[in-house]
């Protein structure tokens, strides 16, 4: 009897609390729609179905969403979701930002990061099918713009290059709002990969510090060890009339610093970005890192890293007197349209110092290595092209006095030494030597 009574009281109190809770609730309103994405109707219907509940001012709540305490979780998602991406205030973004958000949306969908799984568990109608994702992908494929020669971009790049004086920095670079300081040595780290971004017309090189390089050699990259640092440098693309691309104006450099304890709140990485050759710290306040974390979220099973290191050419090259492993500093990168290849030009200390000063010719003992890869689509980001298998490795070594530089070429997967004619060698030496150092402040 007594036990029964206690139970009844507990039940009554619980029910009472539940009812009382219904009166304490966040209010979810639907503010006016000021502008929507100008996309084909089939794209719009995918976004409406799977995203609009959290990323628009047209939220439709199911009855079970409106029950407290569920409503608190729902309201949190909606507030945060609208803050980072709102399809109902599309007009508040620039054209480039709009495009960027759609490419980011596709990536979130492809890797099952959006819509949130907690939400689709209860709203099966919002689940995406492969066809839904294809609809957005096909639309975005039409938004990839071929790069054309542009004299104003060339002029801007030339101006920037002429004004760029490496290591002549007087004004110290300010840290970003989360306190991370600038790391000027990024340009001397080993190049891990490169990308050509057809979605936003930039090309990038990713470099890694010693710890990153060691982790690659030892295959301990998921998770990356504490102390790993990546830098990603972005330039405008400069196309010639044949469609070949070289780095233009320097845009920004950004970093990811691995420290699973110190940066636990931002997925184990410290994030930082500096823009322009005056290296302006990016971010209004320390919360800028949310943007980085959110867009890297689809790579959550890859320790939040997009880049796959290129086939490690330095380690796999044949043993010749030319090659020294520690001498793989980046001078420039490029894309060769007809051959569907992309390349990175590396130099030893002497070569890099001379190239970055814009010297007219290379000194004796300067060593240049041009690695060329077949270009392939990046599985991690629609619209990006990355290096695939190695097509060739070419080296130019400058000699003392008036002696002609030596040229060697290795081709194919096994990098077999190539027998080239003297004429071919001269042509390649000229091509490789002509490449201008990319601006890296």
- 151, 371, 335: which is closest to 244 by C-alpha? 335
Stretch that binds ligand HEC, among 138-146, 212-220, 254-262, 334-342 (CB under 6 A): 254-262
Stretch that binds ligand HEC, among 6-14, 113-121, 181-189, 429-437 (CB under 6 A): 113-121
* CA gap 220, 228 in Å, rounded: 11
Cα 402–403–405 angle (5° rounding)?
A: 120
Candidates 273, 329, 408, 409: give the one binding ligand HEC (CB under 6 A): 273
Question: Peptide bond before 223: cis, by omega within 30 degrees of 0?
Answer: yes
205 with 191: CB under 8 angstroms?
Answer: yes
Q: How far is the CB of 355 from ligand HEC (least distance, A)?
A: 24
Nearer to ligand HEC, 119 or 362 (CB): 119
Q: Scan residues 178-217 and list those touching ligand HEC (CB under 6 A).
A: 195, 197, 204, 206
190 with 217: CB under 8 angstroms?
Answer: no
Candidates 43, 114, 212, 317: give the one binding ligand HEC (CB under 6 A): 114
429 with 405: CB under 8 angstroms?
Answer: yes
Candidates 38, 42, 80, 424: give the one binding ligand HEC (CB under 6 A): 80
383 with 140: CB under 8 angstroms?
Answer: yes
What tokens were used for 371? 């690695």
Sequence-ordered list of residues with C-beta below 8 angstroms from that of 427, at least 6 positions apart, any chain: none
Candidates 119, 328, 373, 398: give the one binding ligand HEC (CB under 6 A): 119
* CA gap 400, 364 in Å, rounded: 5
Cα of 338 vs its chain's centroid, Å? 25
Candidates 256, 345, 390, 425: give the one binding ligand HEC (CB under 6 A): 256
Q: Scan residues 37-56 and list those touching ligand HEC (CB under 6 A).
A: 50-51, 53-55
Nearer to ligand HEC, 85 or 390 (CB): 85
Nearer to ligand HEC, 79 or 320 (CB): 79
Furthest CA-CA distance within the chain: 109
Q: Is 307 a residue that touches ligand HEC (CB under 6 A)?
A: yes
Q: Is 85 a residue that touches ligand HEC (CB under 6 A)?
A: yes
Nearer to ligand HEC, 144 or 353 (CB): 144
367 with 395: CB under 8 angstroms?
Answer: yes
226 with 260: CB under 8 angstroms?
Answer: yes
Q: How far is the CB of 368 from ligand HEC (least distance, A)?
A: 25
Candidates 186, 189, 250, 271: give the one binding ligand HEC (CB under 6 A): 271
Q: Which residues bind ligand HEC (CB under 6 A)?
A: 50-51, 53-55, 77, 80-81, 84-85, 100, 104-105, 108-109, 114-116, 119, 195, 197, 204, 206, 230, 232, 254-256, 271-273, 282, 288, 291-292, 294-297, 305-307, 381, 384
């Amino acid at each position: 009897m007594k036990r029964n009574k206690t139970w009844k009281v507990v039940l009554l109190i619980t029910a009472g609390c539940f009812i009382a809770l219904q009166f304490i609730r966040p209010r979810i309103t639907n503010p006016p729609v000021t502008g929507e994405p100008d996309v084909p109707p089939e794209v719009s219907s995918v976004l409406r179905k799977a995203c609009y509940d959290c990323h628009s001012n047209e939220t439709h709540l199911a009855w079970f969403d409106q029950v407290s305490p569920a409503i608190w979780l729902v309201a949190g998602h909606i507030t945060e979701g609208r803050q980072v991406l709102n399809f109902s205030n599309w007009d508040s973004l620039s054209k480039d930002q709009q495009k960027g958000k759609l490419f980011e949306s596709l990536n979130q969908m492809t890797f099952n990061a959006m819509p949130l799984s907690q939400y689709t568990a209860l709203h099966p109608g919002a689940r995406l099918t492969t066809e839904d994702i294809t609809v957005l992908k096909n639309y975005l494929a039409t938004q990839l713009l071929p790069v054309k020669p542009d004299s104003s971009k060339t002029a801007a790049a030339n101006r920037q290059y002429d004004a760029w004086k490496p290591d002549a920095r007087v004004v110290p670079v300010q840290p970003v709002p989360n306190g991370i300081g600038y790391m000027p040595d990024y340009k001397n780290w080993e190049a891990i990969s490169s990308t050509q971004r057809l979605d936003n017309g930039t090309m990038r090189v990713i470099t890694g510090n010693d710890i990153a390089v060691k982790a690659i050699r030892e295959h301990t990259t998921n998770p990356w060890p504490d102390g790993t640092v990546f830098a990603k440098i972005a330039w405008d693309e400069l196309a010639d009339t044949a469609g070949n691309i070289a780095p233009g104006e320097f845009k920004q450099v950004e970093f990811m610093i691995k420290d699973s304890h110190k940066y636990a709140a931002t997925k184990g990485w410290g994030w930082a970005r500096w823009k322009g050759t005056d290296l302006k710290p990016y971010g209004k306040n320390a919360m800028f890192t949310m943007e980085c974390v959110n867009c890297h979220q689809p790579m959550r099973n890859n320790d939040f890293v997009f880049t796959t290191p290129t086939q490690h050419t330095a380690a796999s090259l044949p043993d010749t007197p030319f090659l020294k492993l520690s001498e793989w500093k980046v001078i420039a990168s490029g894309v060769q349209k007809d051959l569907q290849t992309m390349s990175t030009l590396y130099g030893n200390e002497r070569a890099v110092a001379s190239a970055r000063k814009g010297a007219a010719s290379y000194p004796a003992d300067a060593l240049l290595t041009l690695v060329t890869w077949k270009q392939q689509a990046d599985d991690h980001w629609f619209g990006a092209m990355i290096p695939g298998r190695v097509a060739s490795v070419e080296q130019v070594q400058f000699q003392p006095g008036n002696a002609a530089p030596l040229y060697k070429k290795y081709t194919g997967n096994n990098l077999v030494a190539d027998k080239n004619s003297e004429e071919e060698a001269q042509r390649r030496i000229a091509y490789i030597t002509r490449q201008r150092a990319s601006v890296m402040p």
